A and B are shown apart, each in its own frame.
Chain A
Amino acid sequence: MTEKDRKRRRGKKQADLGNEIITLENVSKAYATGAPALNGVSLHINKGEFVFIVGDSGSGKSTLIKLLLRELTPTSGYINVMGYDLVKIKHRKIPKFRRNLGIVFQDFRLLKDRNVYDNVAFAQRIIQVSNKEIKRNVPSILSMVGLAGKYKAKPKQLSGGEQQRVALARALINKPTILLADEPTGNLDPKNSWEIMKLLEQINENGTTVLVVTHNREIVNSMQKRVVTMKKGIVVSDEEKGGYIDEN
């Protein structure tokens, strides 16, 4: 992509990009030491899509997620998420951008000293929702993820699957446009993994764009969603209703 093309694309309003909600054009990311983590990656994801990002360790999946969260900036290339140019975005605008993203991590990242209710309410407090609305919204989202009866429990009193449901509730309570899930089933047994994936599918059916980074071959092969496969920092395959591609 030439600089001229890039400028032209940046100049377009989100509406002009049609349904596209995530755009990566020729994105590279190099760290101070070692080989580049991403090397000329281009990716286009539309509103309402469910996409698996798969690949082995070192393939660049985590770097890709960090770029989409604007935790990192690319060495070169163009990234646009929900109309935000993540290369040029000002530091003070990053919180507002992130409020439209729901994020779920492999290790749940719950606040250990707060109970389930407070962990979920926390996301609403950050965007300054009134206490009255928080009291209405939190029980509703907890019942959606099947944890209505456990709102007083602390994270350590919950199973891995339940903790991931709390993380999902926290990610969803602000009604994000995009849900990013980084290895959401990495610490879960098969039964809990499937339950979480069903929840993600349900969330996607309600209109949220879902991006799942995973190693779980069985889930990827069963769900028949779009699969983007990465290897050594480049996209080697991008298939609708794809499957997990073996290393060999």
Chain B
Amino acid sequence: MRISTFFYTIGQGFRNIIRNKWFSLASIATIGACLFLFGLFYAIITNFQHIVKTAEEGVSVTVFFDEGVSDTRIAEIGDMIAKRVEVADVKFVSADEAWESFKEDYLGEYSDGFTENPLADSAHYEIYLNDVSLQPALVTYLESIDDIRRINKSEITATTLSGVNALIAYVSIGIIGILFAVSIFLISNTVTIGISVRKEEINIMKYIGATDFFVRSPFVIEGMLIGLIGSLVPLGLIYFIYNNVIVYVTERFSMLSQLLSFLPVETIFNTLAPVSVIMGVGIGFLGSIATVRKHLRV
């Protein structure tokens, strides 16, 4: 292909958009709406997963020992636990540390009356998990170890979090799939309308001796440009809305700020921006090429 033909084709793609500005606007709006919803879901889902992940990291299993267990045995148990695949981190809390923490949290100045450590047998391990769904397996293992008196676990939190995580994943895949199908259908419809409007022009091209490639290219370029613009507009909107919503939520519901930790917009856009652009251009490409192919047998 000559360079002049290449630029002519690109130019025709732009001209097609301007010539059929209402159809083009409708397509851009449709793709834009789909990708806006996609971006919105993505931002919500990613943040929710981030919140869940943060909460998961806080979920721990606590192990207390029988009375009189030696420090050597405690260290040995610690090594055994640390080697398990379920375990992300093990933290030893001595009886003194446990008492200090308790005093700080609950007693404050009233702790002065205690001369001895009432929590003398409360040395323990705090075990943090790689994945909360692995908690039952670890608990079964811990129960089989001698010299362990008690295991504290948060069963409800662990199952709830892993259940919510799976639900979010399924729902998001479903929604994204539906949006993708709707977008392809809509752009295909728009290109069909565009082609039927230009049916005569296509016929003239074919009579003069245009190849299928020459006739198709401007329409495909048009579809891809519509997809590109349709992806950039919602990205801009989401960028603006996201920052404002986070500021609003953080200021308005300050008591939730410890529970909810939002991701910065840059982190969201690292993935969202390229995925949206590829999806927009891809939808435009697929929708237009499939539709144009049907109308070229002159």
Contacts and interface: CB of A to CB of B under 8 A. Distances in A.
Interface residues of B, number: 21
Given A109-B204, A111-B201, A131-B4, A126 B298 contact: no
A85 to B, nearest CB: 18
Interface stretch (B21-29, B104-112, B205-213): B205-213
A95 B5 contact: no
Contact of A125 (B8, B201, B206, B207): B8
B97 to A, nearest CB: 81
B214 A126 contact: yes
B150 interface: no
Interface in A99-131: 99, 101, 103, 109-111, 113, 122-123, 125-128, 130-131
A71 B297 CA distance: 9
A109 B8 CA distance: 21
Contact of B211 (A95, A110, A123, A170): A95
Interface residues of A, number: 25
Interface centre among B1, B208, B214 (most CB of A within 10 A): B208
B2 A98 contact: no
A71 B204 contact: no
Contacts of B266: none
A109 B4 CA distance: 25
B207 A127 contact: no
A37 B209 CA distance: 26
Contacts of A95: 206, 209-212, 214
Interface centre among B2, B19, B204, B212 (most CB of A within 10 A): B204
A11 to B, nearest CB: 27
A8 interface: no
A13 interface: no
Contacts of B210: 95, 126
Contacts of B205: 122, 126
Contact of A126 (B1, B203, B209): B209
Contact of A130 (B2, B203, B209): B2
A71 B2 CA distance: 28
Interface centre among A125, A127, A170 (most CB of B within 10 A): A125
A98 B208 contact: yes
Interface string B140-162: 00000000000000000000000
16 contacts: A92-B212, A95-B206, A95-B209, A95-B210, A95-B211, A97-B209, A98-B207, A98-B208, A103-B207, A103-B208, A125-B5, A126-B205, A126-B210, A126-B214, A128-B5, A174-B209
Given A96-B209, A128-B5, 14 more contacts: A71-B298, A91-B297, A95-B206, A95-B210, A95-B212, A98-B206, A98-B208, A99-B208, A99-B209, A122-B205, A125-B5, A125-B8, A130-B2, A174-B209
The 10 residue pairs across chains A and B that have the minimum distance between CB atoms: A99-B209, A98-B209, A126-B210, A95-B211, A95-B209, A128-B2, A131-B4, A128-B5, A123-B208, A109-B204
